[in-house]
């Protein structure tokens, strides 16, 4: 299997072109700068990431804060301009197109935020919020739009009495339902969920996960699901990408990656999750040492080598690339073809 074939979605079959194809995407944020100020080295938020996302597929994206996963989500939606690389959405390269050309695509891809309330203009009612995307894209007549609002609320499990209220009058879970409803107004094909359930309580989180899943099943939407909770990501995703310092560490099927993590970082992540088990089965965890380094000064070689319990000589010199290993893609020198050979 070729590298690109593995990166591609599998659930949808090889012959169909993926909805989203990301190739060597790079985003550097300048630090400082200005008329009289020296520029520091840029923050390498995303540093050469490639993946694809098939129609109706859910791709999970996990990593610690500072790994660049949110930036990646925004690059995909062209809310940020990439430094290099390309994002092809349904055959159209959106990295270089002008904003006017991107606008029609906006109705086909939407974003769900971690904190729904702050993603709503506090001065708009729920109705105004839900109407907004339709108005912007000129969808439907006023009556149709209004009807659609009620439908959407119903779909996410809220009464139409919510229409006249303001965002702050809702609890976190309700607000996230509204966020989802808003994202659905334009019948998108791609939803980027940026930590969409992270801030929710467990009982509500489960509700929202179920809602997202049912929507996907009904409408065949593709999800790019960004989160830091591996259990949540595993549950909702078909495939999972593990990110570390702007690069992909490992890509694989979600069950596979949880059961047999290859990359030492993935292993450490999984080990770090406290398990809900009885006191008798408690195990003392040996936590991963240190914290994620400053992305403006990433370590040389494998960026994980500073914390890696398995590091060896090559790690601080050579940058590992993604290699296929037993159906997963791993960027680690341990799994270099020659090493395994």
Partner 1 sequence: MIGYAIRRTLYGLLVLFLITTFVFVVLRLIPGDVVRLQLADAPGVTQAQVDALAAELGLDQPVFTQFWSFISGAVTGDLGTSFETRLPVTEMIVERLPATLELGLLAIMFSVVLGVPLGIISAIRHNSFLDQSLRLVSVAGISVPNFWLALLLITYLSIWFGWSQPLVYAAPWENLGTNLAIMAIPALALGTSAMAAVSRMLRSSMLEVTQSNFVRTVRSRGAPERLVILKHAGRNSILPVFTLLGLQFGNILGGTVILESIFSIPGMGSLIFTSVQMRDYPVVLGCVIFYGAVFIFVNLLVDLVYAVIDPRIRYS
Partner 2 sequence: MSIVQQSDADQARDAVSTDGSTPPPVARPPRRRALLRFAKQQPFGLAALILITCFVVMAALCPWLAPYDPLEQHRGSIMLPPSPEHLMGTDDLGRDVLSRTLYGARTSLLVAVFTMMLGGVVGILLGTVSGYFGGSWVDTIIQRVMDTLMAIPSIVLLLFVAALLGPSIRNTVIALSLLVVPQFNRVTRGEMLRIREETFVEAARAIGCSPWRILTRYGLPNLLAPLFVLGSLVFAGMMIAESALSFLGIGTPPPTPSWGRMLSEGSASLEIAPWIAFYPGLALSVSVLAFNLLGDAMRDFLDPKQHR
Partner 3 sequence: MSHGHIARGAAHDLRVEGTGVENESGRVLLDVQDLSVEFRTGGGVLEALSGVNLTVRQGEVVAVVGESGSGKSVTALGVMGLLGNGRVSSGRIMWDDYTDLATARPKNFRAIRGNDIAMIFQDPMTSLDPLYTVGNQLSEALRLHRRMRRREARAEAIDLLGMVGIPDPGSKVDAYPHQMSGGQRQRVMIAIALACSPRLLIADEPTTALDVTVEAQVLSLLRDLQRDKNVSLMLITHDMGVVAEMADRVVVFYAGRVAEQGTVDDILQNPRHPYTQALLRAIPRPSTPRDEPMPAIAGNVPALHEMPAGCRFADRCPLVHDRCVEQPPHVAISSEHSTACWLATDDRSSAVLEGSPA
> Which residues bind to partner 1, rule: CB under 8 A?
36-38
Q: Is residue 31 at the binding interface for partner 2, with CB under 8 A as the rule?
A: no
Query: Is residue 173 classed exposed, middle or buried when 0-12, 13-18 and 19+ CB atoms within 10 A define those classes?
Result: buried
Q: Which does 38 bind (CB under 5 to 8 A by kind): partner 3, partner 2, partner 1, none?
A: partner 1
Q: Which of 1, 13, 15, 35 binds partner 2 (CB under 8 A)?
A: 35
Q: Which of 169, 210, 272, 317 binds partner 2 (CB under 8 A)?
A: 169
Q: Which does 103 bind (CB under 5 to 8 A by kind): partner 3, partner 2, partner 1, none?
A: partner 2
Query: Is residue 297 classed exposed, middle or buried when 0-12, 13-18 and 19+ CB atoms within 10 A define those classes?
Result: exposed
DSSP string, 169-214: GS-HHHHHHHHHHHHHTT--SEEEEESTTTTS-HHHHHHHHHHHHH
Nearer CB in complex with partner 1: 38/168: 38
- What span, in angstroms and rounded, lies between the C-alpha atoms of 14 and 150? 39
Candidate segments 87-95, 111-119, 185-193, 228-236, binder of partner 3 by CB under 8 A: 228-236
User: How near is the Cβ of 41 to partner 1 at its closest, in Å?
Assistant: 16
What are the C-alpha distances in Å from 125 to residues 121, 132, 141, 245? 9, 11, 19, 39
Candidate segments 7-15, 121-129, 137-145, 268-276, binder of partner 3 by CB under 8 A: 268-276
Assigned token pair, 44: 């390498």
Alpha helical stretches, state H, the chain: 3-7, 69-76, 99-106, 126-136, 142-155, 172-184, 202-219, 230-236, 254-259, 264-272, 337-340
User: How near is the Cβ of 295 to partner 1 at its closest, in Å?
Assistant: 18
Q: Which of 95, 207, 222, 328 binds partner 3 (CB under 8 A)?
A: 207
Nearer CB in complex with partner 2: 165/213: 165
Q: Is residue 24 at the binding interface for partner 3, with CB under 8 A as the rule?
A: no
Closest alpha carbon to 46 in 15, 104, 95, 85: 85
User: How near is the Cβ of 97 to partner 3 at its closest, in Å?
Assistant: 35
Nearer CB in complex with partner 2: 130/258: 130
- What span, in angstroms and rounded, lies between the C-alpha atoms of 213 and 226? 15
Q: Is residue 159 at the binding interface for partner 3, with CB under 8 A as the rule?
A: no
Print burial letters for 56-94: b (CB count within 10 Å at least 16), e (below 16): bbbbbbbbbebbbbbbbbbbbbbebebbebebbbbeeeb
Q: Is residue 77 at the binding interface for partner 2, with CB under 8 A as the rule?
A: yes
Nearer CB in complex with partner 3: 99/203: 203
Candidate segments 23-31, 73-81, 123-131, 167-175, binder of partner 3 by CB under 8 A: 167-175
- What span, in angstroms and rounded, lies between the C-alpha atoms of 26 and 335? 24
Q: Which does 132 bind (CB under 5 to 8 A by kind): partner 1, partner 2, partner 3, none?
A: partner 2
User: How near is the Cβ of 274 to partner 3 at its closest, in Å?
Assistant: 3
DSSP string, 227-258: ES-HHHHHHH-SEEEEEETTEEEEEEEHHHHH
Candidate segments 136-144, 178-186, 226-234, 310-318, binder of partner 3 by CB under 8 A: 226-234
**Three-class SS state of 112:** strand
Q: Which of 118, 217, 289, 294 binds partner 2 (CB under 8 A)?
A: 118
- Residues within the interface to partner 3 (CB under 8 A): 64-65, 171-174, 201-207, 209-210, 213-214, 228-232, 234-236, 254-255, 258-259, 268-269, 271-280, 282, 284-285, 287-289, 291-292
């Amino acid at each position: 299997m070729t590298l690109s074939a593995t990166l591609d979605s599998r659930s949808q079959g090889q012959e169909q072109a993926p909805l989203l194809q990301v190739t060597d995407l790079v985003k550097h944020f300048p630090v400082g700068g200005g008329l009289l100020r020296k520029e520091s080295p840029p923050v390498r938020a995303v540093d050469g990431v490639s993946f694809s996302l098939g129609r109706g597929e859910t791709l999970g994206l996990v990593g610690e804060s500072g790994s660049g996963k949110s930036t990646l989500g925004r690059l995909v939606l062209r809310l940020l301009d990439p430094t290099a690389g390309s994002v092809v959405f349904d055959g159209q390269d959106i990295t270089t197109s002008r904003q006017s050309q991107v606008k029609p695509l906006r109705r086909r891809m939407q974003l769900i935020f971690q904190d729904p309330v702050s993603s709503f203009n506090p001065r708009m009612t729920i109705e105004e919020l839900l109407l907004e995307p339709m108005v912007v894209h000129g969808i439907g007549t006023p009556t149709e739009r209004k009807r659609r609002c009620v439908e959407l609320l119903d779909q996410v499990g809220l009464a139409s009495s919510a229409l006249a209220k303001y965002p702050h009058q809702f609890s976190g879970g309700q607000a996230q339902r509204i966020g989802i409803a808003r994202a659905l107004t334009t019948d998108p094909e791609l939803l980027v969920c940026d930590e969409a359930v992270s801030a929710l309580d467990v009982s509500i989180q489960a509700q929202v996960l179920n809602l997202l899943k049912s929507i996907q099943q009904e409408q065949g939407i593709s999800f790019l699901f960004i989160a830091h909770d591996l259990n949540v990501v595993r549950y909702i995703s078909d495939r999972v990408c593990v990110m570390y310092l702007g690069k992909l560490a490992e890509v694989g099927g979600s069950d596979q990656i949880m059961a047999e993590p290859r990359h030492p970082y993935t292993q450490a992540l999984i080990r770090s999750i406290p398990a809900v088990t009885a006191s008798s089965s408690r195990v003392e965890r040996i936590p991963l040492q240190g914290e994620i380094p400053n992305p403006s000064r990433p370590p040389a070689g494998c960026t994980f080598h500073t914390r890696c319990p398995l590091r060896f000589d090559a790690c601080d010199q050579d940058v590992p690339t993604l290699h296929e290993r037993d159906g997963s893609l791993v960027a680690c020198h341990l799994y270099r073809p020659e090493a395994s050979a």
